[in-house]
Amino acid sequence: MPGAEQYLKPSVIRNVARLDLRARFIVEGFLAGLHASPFQGFSVEFSEHRRYAQGDDPQDIDWLVYAKTDRFYVKKYQAETNISGYILMDLSASMGYTYRQELTKFDYCTCLAAALAYLMIHQQDPVGLMTFDKQLRACLPARSRRSHLGNMLALLSKAQPNGETDVAGNLKRISSMIRHRGLILLFSDLLCEPQPVIDSLHQLRHAGHDVIVFHVLDEAEVNFPFEGLSDFEDPETGGRLIVDSNEMRGDYLGAVAELREFYKIACVRMGADYVPLDTSLPFDRALVQYLSQRRAKF
């Protein structure tokens, strides 16, 4: 049986069939490793608290938490804790790609999304889920009940990547649907025209939403391990291209780096968080990004 932190590895979590267990094991592995991270002292148990800061009323200190942690924490007020999260999941056919036949990009994203939903609901933050390809396919409103997590995971488990997508168009639709300020968590490989996506993210930021973009590629799309003549097929259009991999490697890797840099710079400028990931990376990088974003609000 792997240690808790081993479940942060995609190669280990792929052996767990049920998405609810994947979510739980990823979060447990993440929390087990926090002792060596900048988030030492955080746990789901104390998620309704924040560290005591100068200017806080000493009467608000929770002495039971102090007895357990030897640190001063105060209870967060309701207004501090109620931020609604919205998970936006790209269902395009390209998300179903995997090079080594392990986790597809979609599998990787659903594991992350499930783990983040688990964290949010245990923090009593409402969280919703929207899936899309060319149009919105499913929409669950933001709720914080434990039973809501089961509904979200059931929807994610049944979803299948298929066909083309319209990331920018759906972001605009979603922006008009969400009435109150929230935390938008976008999961996509972003294999589309980047400028319309950036314009749509600007619209979300202008509406007052916090945004985290999880840009997830397959490890082969990042590292390009191919040799000799290779036959590539576009999973969304069916178009095929035979190329000399050795000759095009440099140009391809440069284009991927340029795309990521474009999204990074654009997100920084608008005040959004950009998290480039590939399917070989441990899941804690994304979870730390979520906690960083949440803690920046308090």
pLDDT higher than threshold 50 for residue 156 = yes
**pLDDT at residue 238, rounded to an integer:** 81
**pLDDT at residue 294, rounded to an integer:** 60
- The segment with the largest mean pLDDT, out of 76-85, 240-249, 286-295, is 240-249
Residues 179 and 229 occupy one common structural domain: yes
Domain boundary among 81, 102, 134: 81
What's the pLDDT band for 69 if we cut at 50, 70, 90? low
pLDDT higher than threshold 70 for residue 76 = no
Backbone angles phi, psi at 214, to 5 degrees: -95, 100
CA distances from residue 93 to 17, 264, 289 in whole angstroms, order as listed: 22, 24, 27
Residues 74 and 222 occupy one common structural domain: no
**pLDDT at residue 104, rounded to an integer:** 97
- Structural domain range at position 207: 82-295
Give 41 or 272, the one with higher predicted confidence: 272
Instruction: Determine contact, residues 212/293, Cβ cutoff 8 Å.
Output: yes
Mean pLDDT for the chain? 86
Give, as one character, the DSSP assignment of residue 189.
-
Nearest to 33 by CA among 287, 289, 292, 244: 287
Specify if 140 maps to a domain: yes
Residues 155 and 55 occupy one common structural domain: no
**pLDDT at residue 295, rounded to an integer:** 56
**pLDDT at residue 41, rounded to an integer:** 42
**pLDDT at residue 55, rounded to an integer:** 66
Give 14 or 67, the one with higher predicted confidence: 14
- Joined together, the tokens standing for residue 14 give 């792929």
Across 131-157, average pLDDT: 95
pLDDT higher than threshold 90 for residue 173 = yes
Specify if 21 maps to a domain: no
Plot region of 41 (φ>0 → left; ψ -120 to 50 → alpha; else → beta): left
Domain boundary among 81, 112, 129: 81
Give 71 or 267, the one with higher predicted confidence: 267
**pLDDT at residue 67, rounded to an integer:** 63
Domain boundary among 81, 113, 141: 81
pLDDT higher than threshold 50 for residue 39 = no
DSSP bridge partners of 73: 51
| Burial category of 250 from C-beta neighbours within 10 Å (exposed 0-12, middle 13-18, buried 19 and up) | exposed
Nearest to 279 by CA among 117, 34, 159, 110: 110
Residues contacting 8, CB < 8 A, separation 6+: 26, 29, 30, 33, 282, 283, 284
